[in-house]
Amino acid sequence: MKEKQENWKSRSGKNTLKLGIWTGSWVLTTALVAFGPDFIWNENRTLTLMALILNLVIGLLMILANKNYVNSLDELQRKIQLEAMGMALGVAVVFGIGYSMLDTTNIITHDAEISHLIILIALTYFAGCVIGSLRYR
């Protein structure tokens, strides 16, 4: 039993590391797409498109790594993650559409930026993980 538990911890740790690597790679390629055209390759559309394709491919690999990570968790950890992800998805849809409508109806004077929504999603997911971990302690 102890060997099985250590094997699970080892697999879970490897999946956590892989997820971290793919997430970091995706963040770096996102920065490359955002800043490359202005600071590295002087608005070259071909290089921008290539960087965007690379970003999408790495993003898909990050999604697969996240799936593997969740599958490596025990039932309780998986439940906490699922609840946090569900809450983050709901907040993203409801508040994202509401925020966009505030912009399109000119109720707010600035443009609705996706970065604001990403921050809200991340904070919601983080809070969901913390609250779930405390609730099921």
pLDDT band at residue 11 using 50, 70 and 90 as cut-offs = confident
**Residue 121: other Cβ atoms inside 10 A:** 18
State percent of the chain over pLDDT 90. Answer: 89
Section 61-82 average pLDDT: 95
Domain termination residue (choose one: 72, 102, 118): 72
Please tell me the predicted confidence (pLDDT) of residue 17.
Answer: 95
Q: What is the dihedral of CA 78, 66, 93, 137, to 10 degrees?
A: 30
Using DSSP's 3-state secondary structure scheme, residue 1 falls into: coil
47 has pLDDT over 70: yes
8 has pLDDT over 70: no
Quote the number of domains for the chain.
2
Q: Which two tokens stand for residue 54?
A: 């690379």
Please tell me the predicted confidence (pLDDT) of residue 25.
Answer: 97
Domain termination residue (choose one: 43, 72, 101): 72
74 has pLDDT over 90: yes
Residues 89 and 67 in one domain: no
Residues 47 and 82 in one domain: no
Question: Are 83 and 128 spatial neighbours (Cβ–Cβ below 8 Å)?
Answer: yes
Integer Cα distance of 21 and 19 in angstroms: 5
Section 107-112 average pLDDT: 93
Domain range for 112 is: 73-137
12 has pLDDT over 80: no
Q: What is the dihedral of CA 51, 52, 57, 60, to 10 degrees?
A: 140
Integer Cα distance of 109 and 93 in angstroms: 22
2 has pLDDT over 70: no
Average pLDDT, the chain: 93
